[in-house]
Structure 1
């Protein structure tokens, strides 16, 4: 008698969750296109005869020196704008595990383990390739993150009709490894810690939590508290983007009983996410990319010099091979050694293609490179080259694999559309 199957790996979720994920991915795809444009413009400008003006703009400082907030334009983008990005990522992660399909531990286990493996294996590969050089080993965390906006831009280009379970898998991977990355930043890339500002940051954080738990949405109350918490975390020496995640985790996901309870519609977290995601993906991340991706390659000779550095090679290999081995390998082993099997509408080729696509690392990878080696340092410049080339290679390989499955995806989507009833909900979700 065959062993009972208790769970399908990467199976489709509920119809409301699939619809919500599809809406998020549409917004992130637009953000990915803007991110790509910002990156290309930065690269062209940084390698043009007017490269000095790009550097001058990026390095121009302004702010408040008394509050440790006299930063360059590039630092404001990395420390300030990315806090918005991590706030939205924190909201998405909390919602997934409180009210989404991933509140079921069986559904959550595989993408979470895959994300952890997708962080661990690239870090190990980078470390092995840079053994013997302590300074270069500081970049071990660079290839650990997946850039969901860039990854979805690739999907938009190849026009694939991915099943919702696979799309949710990619989204969950990206969100979880963003959380892992911000944890790594807080623990391993905090060179000095000022305890007093950190303790003071608890005051606006607690007031923010008090207000949002009472479902207060007034921006004139919440934004000043969020900015104060961000500024104090920045002054403490911990990277200020950590404040974004901490603030997000205080926001309630479900409606209060007085407002009708969980079944009464979207909660405050989804409300904030809906309002801030366009700002995050459409402005914050592209602006950060514009000021971080402008590496001066120096022609063929400069590219050859970068590729001779083990930092560059380590980033490329870790993004392309490390992510794929970690994510695909852990998913396959979870399905092999647990009472589960791959969903009937998917093939392991699909999972392999998504694992390759997760090697598109950009935003957080560039941020960690700056924290590890210092903005504008030779190793930081080589990190940028490695991230750009590794992400490009991962995108090309993933596109080749997923395009081969595109006809299958299209047939599935067309069949589901034919099965729709008048209520607009596909029969497979009932």
Structure 2
């Protein structure tokens, strides 16, 4: 499509200067418009300029599209004033071409008229919206709440701004693998989010193909990018005590020994915070025991850190609970409304508070009695005798006590 506008200005004064002005301003070219990427055939006529003169004039063009970049786009018939287009132009390279037009007198080649010409390039939809990256990759926590932002993809279109050719929208074309518990969606801004529940055990990596599609009226162009979403395992499995090994016995007055080892199972990812456990001892008010986690096996190693006394009790009952380093989380889809987010049942336990019932077990530690030596009631007792006291004279009485609870308490 092309447009040629001619504005004719007539001057009626008969003075010499006004006549010369009238000759130099007999016409003014406003603008031409040509469509980028015109298929031809070439050359084709863009338009024709003419000038009302009693003498013959010679036409010439200079500037962009002639002898300046992009060169060789236009030519002019120097005798008739016809302008021809010789090849296609690209809107994205040049949105407007500025030329100089001259009309010269044939008899002496003096310039009769000099004007500026602007040729506007009409954009066509020849550019698809292109993404900044061919691949986006992001890692998210399994306990991420639905509706949360995951990743933003960005695309740009080089066609003329504010037109359907450069206006586009995003669309999710495919999700692999598919899961009934999650649905991804993308906003007009390119922000990616989801409905439902992430589940590392079901799908640990989601691969999304996203397209940007323009709104061209004649043809719609598009491009795509890939988004990989890695789901990091969260703590959605509680640890369970499965057994214990060890004698469960400790000698009185002995410390630094480990009478038993607790074993647990956890179905979260091995060696993650969701898998590693922490043990807590209940009923250890006097601080006789301590329990530590074996980082390789997740076992709980119970150690006596303060010596026990058989006479204070032959057994010690302890309750030991286990929980993970990471807060517990679970998510279950209840319904999938067509509008808005889905209805999900979420259970979260942060580092403090919450109503999660952690697994616990009760252990009995047997205190073994040992034959402790009898002890005197006083360590030093003073007695006085006169000199020359006879042999066999009573001096003083000392008392020793044996704390053992066994029947054999005789000692010498």
Q: For the superposition of Structure 1 and Structure 2, which TM-score range results when normalised by the shorter chain?
A: under 0.3
TM-score (norm 1): 0.17
The structure having more radius of gyration, on CA atoms, is 2
Q: Judging by fraction of residues, say which structure has more helix.
A: 1
Q: Judging by fraction of residues, say which structure has more strand.
A: 2
Structure of higher RCO (CA pairs closer than 8 Å, 6+ residues apart)? 1
TM-score (norm 2): 0.18
